[in-house]
Amino acid sequence: METLKRDIAYALRQMYRNPGFTLAVVLMLALGIGANTAVFSVASQVILRPLPFREAGQLVHVRYGEPSLVEEPLQFSVPEFKDFQAQNRTFTGLMEYHTMSFILIGREEPDRVQVGVVSANFFDLLGVRPYLGRTFRPDDEAKGAEQVLMLSYAYWRSKIGGDPKIVGKTLQMNGLPITIIGVLPPLPNYPGQDDVWMPTESCPFRKALGPPNTRNLRMITIYGRLKPGATMEQAKADVSAIEGRLRKEYPEFYTDNTEHVSIAPVQEEMIGAFRPTLLILLGTVGLVLLLTCANVGILYSIRLLSREREIVLRAALGAPRGRIVRQLLTEGMLLSVLGGVAGLGIAALATRPLALYAQRFTPLADNVEIDGRVLAFTLLLSFLTGLLFGLIPSLQVARQSLVNVLKESAGRATLGAGRHRLRNALILCQVAISFVLLIAAGLAIRSTLKLNEVQTGVQLNVLSMAVNLPFTKYTNGAQVGAFFQPVYQRVGALPGVLSVGAGSRLPLAGGEFTPTFRRADRPLLPGQSEPRADQRTSSIKYFQTVGIPVVRGRTFNETDIAGAPFVVVITNSLARRHFPGEDPVGKQIIISNMGPNGAAATIIGVVGDTRQNGLDGEPSDAIYFAFRQRGGINMNLFVRSEGDPYLLVSQIREVIRSIDPDQPIDNVQTLEEVRQNAMAPLRLTATLLGLFSVIAFSIMVAGISWVVAFGVTERRQEIGVRAALGADRGNLLGLVLKQGLFLVLSGLVLGAILALAVGRFLSGILFGIEPTDPATFVLVALGIFLVAGIACLLPARKATRIQPALILRG
């Protein structure tokens, strides 16, 4: 311990005497360790921290189709759920879930809430204990049971103010009193981002299904808990056997293209699409740390060379080599720990933005914080970093020959070929790592630019807001029309408003509903399945308001009302795919999900395509229904105005309250904001990769500059002799540049090979560009070569100013 104290005291004195070196090393280490700590804190929360469910590894999602990162599975009908519940042999229990939105009344303002509707055993099977009150009981699902509600922890804190006496209070939902029986503990937003929860008997829509609960109405998701000892393979075989029996018993409810039932672990689904992105981030910050260690190793090596004579004299006076190495490692470790402490500060600033970014991919990124596990990781990383950058230079200095060093003239140190090779190898690796990171960032940035060029099919300066009417209050089309008609008139009369319309779908926001249809004039071929198309409902001025062009025919007008001939408008993509070379206007299609034999509808127009499922997907086929024929209580109101549309929000809210005081509006945003949200994941990924790449690139440039500058200092005698023998400034400049640029070119070749190898990991986040894009490779290579050349040029010019006479006299 006494020796360790002396080593630490001596290291602190050395750091105090060389503040520039100390600051440079600590800053670089802080960037490398801080970036790794921030990303690890998110990874720890998402992957390593156990779920807040009992024996979470036994929880599974029963679903149609194999697990996918992009496609939503087909849902189950209530009779199917009951069949699986009664016939399975591998589950302790199955639970159902679906989500709806209702208006909760009884607080200061009516509040539209997202409601998770679940079977009574839902929280018991999850193993969740309430924070306040109780969870659901079997009698809450009995017919005619009292309406009950549970609050999520987030909703209780944000909207109820954390009132501990909320349990037992009665509010109103769907025109009926509903009693709050409990508050849940903090939980991930899974299966959905639900504000409150109710049992199936409290859901008016679920109850309205009634017997016989048709198998055509697929609306629920099934989750289950495996029996102790049951395996995933056994459960898959179990549900497959049940599905096979149901297909034979009810063939009319299953088509040839209906996916087969499978199961997926809940924890894997909760990580979802974030896994490839997280692996890319972990790999990126790992490379940044390696590059940091390489650069600090170069600096540390140069620093130790200036102390070489001191170190060798210590050895000559009897200091064991192990003792010398320990002293040098102590200084390196101390620098690394200081870098780790500074890195924690950087991580504390970066963790919250990273967590918000991760929340776009997974519900497990809530409440990310720097806890004991992250602190332990940072401490271990700091020690390993200090060992990595300090051990090899220390061993090389300690192995120097006493005789060779002591024979050297004053002021000149011995530089072995081994250390030349070490520094050259570190620079080569730095260039290669920087190239890989810049390629990743360049591809992500170019993907973002290409995504930004995608045409949405709608005008973006349009204000949208959700107006979802409670179906218990608006029970028929006449009541719905009596609400929306004055909304159109009064909002349209507001100053600055150019057009008002309503539609059932918010562009770019997903949520497609794709039943089947067929052409009335062309029967299906044997074995041919009916095509699918998204079904959307729109008002008369919807297309005009959101800027969807009319390609052919007309859109809806005042004559398209209930009782009039059933008409539809189709998208251009549907017309091209199913009416190639024909004019579809005037032709009829059969909408399969309307009535037992479908409903015939006449096509009156063709409109432009819109991208419903984000910018990176193809425009989907869609069929538009007239609002006054089909109706709809869940609509989005769209308003086009002359100036800032947000100036109209308060006036629109007042208009709606004047028509129905209990009707809120929510999800207020412009279509430009919807577009930006659709681009956000790729844009944020590109920003993070770009930020890490800039850090790595800056470190690499600094490392090259330091090595070339130190090489000039080492070769002062050689350069002076060459100048005295007649070498001009150009020759001397080329002599120094050749060494640095050769390393850069070698690093670029190695980096290109590595970038091609890791390109497949990037393909999942790219849009409109290949991971081997030649333009990106060429531009990044030229950029690195140019900047690295400048970094070499600045110290190389120092060589041309060396005075031969001074060198020769020395």
pLDDT at 630: 84
Give the model's confidence band at 412: pLDDT under 50 very low, under 70 low, under 90 confident, else very high: very low
Compare 66 and 753 and report the one with higher pLDDT. 753
- The top-scoring range by mean pLDDT among 51-65, 367-381, 586-600 is 51-65
Residues contacting 707, CB < 8 A, separation 6+: 298, 423, 424, 427, 740
Residues contacting 62, CB < 8 A, separation 6+: 76, 84, 94, 222, 223, 224, 239, 261, 262, 263
Residue 475 contacts residue 580 (beta carbons within 8 Å): no
Tell whether pTM > 0.85: no
Does residue 414 register a pLDDT over 50?
A: no
Encode pLDDT of 423-444 as tens digits: 778 788 888 888 988 998 888 8
pLDDT at 416: 46
Per-residue pLDDT averaged across 753-775, rounded? 83
Q: Which two tokens stand for residue 781?
A: 């290579």
Beta strands in 469-578 (DSSP E): 497-503, 517-519, 534-538, 550-553, 567-571
Encode pLDDT of 278-333 as tens digits: 888 888 888 888 888 877 877 777 776 666 667 777 777 777 777 777 777 888 88
**Cα–Cα distances in angstroms (integers) from residue 277 to residues 351, 757, 763, in the given order:** 16, 17, 11
Share of the chain above pLDDT 90, in %: 29
Beta strands in 517-665 (DSSP E): 517-519, 534-538, 550-553, 567-571, 588-591, 599-607, 622-626, 634-641
- Side-chain-side CA neighbours of 331 within 13 Å: the count stands at 25
End-to-end CA distance of the chain: 45
Residue 682 contacts residue 451 (beta carbons within 8 Å): yes
> 38-52, 254-268, 567-581, 720-734 — which is least confidently predicted?
720-734
Average pLDDT score, the chain: 83
